Structure 1
Amino acid sequence: MDAVDGRPVLVWVEAIGGIVVAWAGPYRFAGDWWDDRRFARDDFDVATTDGSLLRLHFDRLARRWFADGVYD
């Protein structure tokens, strides 16, 4: 996944993806800051040029992108 200014612009997950043509987010989540299970992430819903609708998140602690799922 590629990002510009903190938003995804290109997504490839196995055989799904393409250039991001629309997105919603970030939806910011954080918690458990008081112990080792802490998390901080930004979720995005994106539409790509191949017609895919995906849920992605950026782990702000690990500084990595993840694909959480594909909408039907």
Structure 2
Amino acid sequence: MISLQKPIDNNQVERDHRMMKTHRKVSGCFRSKKGTDYFACCRGYISTLKKNKRNVLEGISLVFRGKPFIPNQA
């Protein structure tokens, strides 16, 4: 039996890095270390929301209300 829920290559790390490469190609570079850190933090949080099948907009809204989504640690 084949599970269609898992990606064929199952290489999540590669997909997570794709956004960083796309941003670098579009803008050329990050302007500062602080900007890089903010971008990575936001992308990491959004990625975590998606991996936990959470609504991204609702998750961002929770951050602004001071109650960010924190996944259960297995």
Query: Which is bigger in relative contact order (C-alpha 8 A, separation at least 6)?
Result: 1
Same fold (TM over 0.5): no
TM bucket by the smaller chain? under 0.3
- When the two structures are superposed, what TM-score results if normalisation uses the length of structure 2? 0.22
